[in-house]
């Protein structure tokens, strides 16, 4: 039996957006059920604008959900009073994409770690040793404690951000595209560091990425998001080898490969601006939101929104006409001519 650390039950997020002179609401996260197992690495993938950050922040109640529950032990984080929520905060940490803006430029690394350690009640007499241990655990020298963030490269700053996140001894870390802003040549080092630390400390990691290639190597399970919904949720190996949802197959096609067309597609999917191919949040389509891009769409897809259902591949997918478990390369669109 798996031990669930966090259970999302119909978690929903709507944002107010300006339209003309008035305001409208968009649904950035449709009601989502998701059980996160203690100690797992769950990857969340999808194009820019698919709702990954919203899901990652909402599960830690860093954005106010519009509905649903977040069960953590015996409590629902959505219902929790602010004071009790603040007391739990150190157990959850978030690591952000941009290591440049997430560190205070005027605070030396040692002082910054000291602030965090003090905040979680580590006695002053132990804080220097703890800060040294933290900084060495992320592969930096203790000299780093004397320096300002500007002294470090992007990769080193992300290591510092990881050290800061670990300072509160969290149980869950949500890492939101932690290497997307880094040079490709150092991405793997930072990802490996995060995975090693996660294993050593028995943490639960939610790793958000637009790169299905990276996550299929590190995740236990993958949640694929499209237009504010999880459209496929499956163990990483089977999903990468045998996706059920046509959108997962499309993302796999777009993972870095030597050929130029695939590389271009990867870059397009990775750009910060939401894809022009995504439907409008202000005018959501009926039926399946992936319909306009789906090579497998049928009449039913226009009429009825698919729900997550068990697939023969072993996971869940929201699709009326999923890929079969033994799909050919041709069916998955993996043949390039």
Residues that bind ligand SF4 (CB under 6 A): 246, 288, 290-291, 294, 296-297, 301, 306, 319-321
The stretch near Mg ion (CB under 5 A) out of 48-56, 87-95, 124-132, 164-172 is 48-56
27 binds Mg ion (CB under 5 A): no
Please give the C-alpha separations between residue 133 and each of 32, 130, 154, 240, 297, in angstroms, as whole numbers.
38, 5, 21, 37, 54
Stretch that binds Mg ion, among 17-25, 34-42, 50-58, 217-225 (CB under 5 A): 50-58
Nearer CB in complex with ligand SF4: 72/226: 226
The per-residue b/e assignment along 85-96, b for 16 or more CB within 10 angstroms, e otherwise, is beebebbbbbbb
Instruction: Report CA 318 to chain centroid distance, whole Å.
Output: 19
Closest-by-Cβ residue to Mg ion is 53
Structure tokens, 323: 């890929």
**Count of other CB atoms within 10 angstroms of residue 306:** 21
Residue 142 touches which of ligand ADP, Mg ion, ligand SF4, none (Cβ within 5-8 Å per kind): none
290 binds, among ligand SF4, Mg ion, ligand ADP, none (CB under 5 to 8 A by kind): ligand SF4
Looking at the Cβ atoms of 92 and 227, the one nearer to ligand SF4 is 227
Q: Which is nearer to ligand ADP, 274 or 310 (CB)?
A: 274
49 binds, among Mg ion, ligand SF4, ligand ADP, none (CB under 5 to 8 A by kind): ligand ADP
In whole angstroms, how close is the CB of 229 to ligand SF4 at the nearest point? Answer: 11
* Least CB distance to ligand ADP at residue 317 (A): 19
Residue 98: CB minimum distance to ligand ADP, A: 13
Q: Are strands 75-76 and 22-37 parallel, antiparallel or unpaired?
A: unpaired
- Cα distances (Å, whole numbers) of residue 263 to 53, 227, 256, 260: 24, 23, 6, 5
Minimum distance, C-beta of residue 168 to ligand SF4, in the bound complex (Å):
40
Q: How many CA atoms lie within 13 A of 127 on its CB side?
A: 19
Tokens coding 226: 């499209």
Closer of 1 and 273 to ligand ADP (Cβ)? 273
CA 117/CA 140 separation, integer angstroms: 18
Q: Is 258 helix (H, G, I), strand (E, B) or coil?
A: coil
297 binds, among Mg ion, ligand SF4, ligand ADP, none (CB under 5 to 8 A by kind): ligand SF4
Tell me the β-bridge partners of 42.
206, 221
Residues 6+ apart with CB under 8 A from 98: 181
> Which bin fits 25, alpha (ψ -120 to 50), beta or left (φ > 0)?
beta
Sign of the Cα pseudo-torsion (288, 59, 109, 112, in order): positive
Q: Which stretches of the chain bind ligand ADP, using CB under 6 A?
A: 15, 17, 28, 46, 48-54, 274, 281
Q: Taking CB under 5 A as the rule, does residue 168 contact Mg ion?
A: no
Task: Rule CB under 5 A: choose which of 50, 53, 93, 158 binds Mg ion.
Answer: 53
Nearest approach in angstroms of CB 326 to ligand ADP is: 31
50 binds Mg ion (CB under 5 A): no
Binding at 306: pick from ligand ADP, Mg ion, ligand SF4, none (beta carbon under 5-8 Å per type): ligand SF4
Q: How many CB atoms lie within 10 A of CB 300?
A: 12
Element (DSSP H or E) covering residue 67: strand 67-72
Question: Shortest distance, CB of residue 333 to ligand SF4, whole angstroms?
Answer: 12
Minimum Å gap between C-beta 211 and Mg ion is 13
End-to-end CA distance of the chain: 46
Contact positions vs Mg ion (CB under 5 A): 52-53
């Amino acid at each position: 039996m798996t031990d669930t650390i966090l259970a999302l039950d119909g978690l929903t997020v709507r944002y107010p957006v300006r339209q003309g002179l008035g305001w409208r609401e968009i649904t950035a996260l449709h009601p989502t059920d998701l059980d996160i197992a203690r100690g797992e690495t769950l990857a969340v993938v999808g194009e820019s604008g698919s709702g990954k950050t919203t899901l990652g922040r909402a599960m830690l109640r860093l954005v106010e959900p519009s509905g649903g529950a977040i069960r953590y032990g015996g409590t629902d984080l959505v219902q929790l009073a602010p004071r009790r929520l603040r007391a739990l905060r150190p157990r959850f940490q978030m690591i952000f994409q941009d290591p440049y803006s997430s560190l205070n430029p005027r605070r030396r690394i040692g002082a910054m770690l000291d602030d965090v350690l003090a905040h979680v009640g580590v006695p002053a007499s132990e804080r220097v040793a703890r800060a040294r241990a933290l900084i060495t655990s992320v592969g930096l020298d203790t000299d780093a404690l004397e320096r300002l963030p500007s002294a470090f490269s992007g990769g080193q700053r992300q290591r510092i951000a990881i050290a800061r996140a670990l300072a509160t001894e969290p149980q869950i870390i949500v890492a939101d595209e932690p290497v997307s802003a880094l040079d490709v040549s150092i991405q793997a080092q930072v990802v490996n560091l995060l995975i090693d630390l996660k294993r050593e400390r028995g943490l639960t990691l939610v790793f958000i990425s637009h790169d299905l290639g990276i996550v299929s190597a590190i995740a236990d399970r993958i949640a694929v998001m499209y237009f504010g919904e999880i459209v496929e949720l499956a163990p990483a190996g089977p999903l990468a080898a045998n996706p059920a949802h046509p959108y997962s197959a499309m993302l796999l096609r777009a993972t870095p490969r030597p050929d130029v067309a695939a590389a271009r597609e990867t870059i397009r999917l990775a750009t910060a601006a939401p894809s022009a191919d995504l439907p409008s949040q202000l005018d959501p389509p009926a039926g399946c939101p992936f319909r306009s891009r789906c090579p497998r769409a049928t009449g039913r897809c226009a009429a009825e929104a698919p729900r997550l259902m068990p697939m023969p591949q072993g996971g869940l997918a929201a699709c009326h006409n999923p890929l079969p478990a033994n799909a050919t390369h041709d069916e998955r669109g993996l043949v390039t001519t």
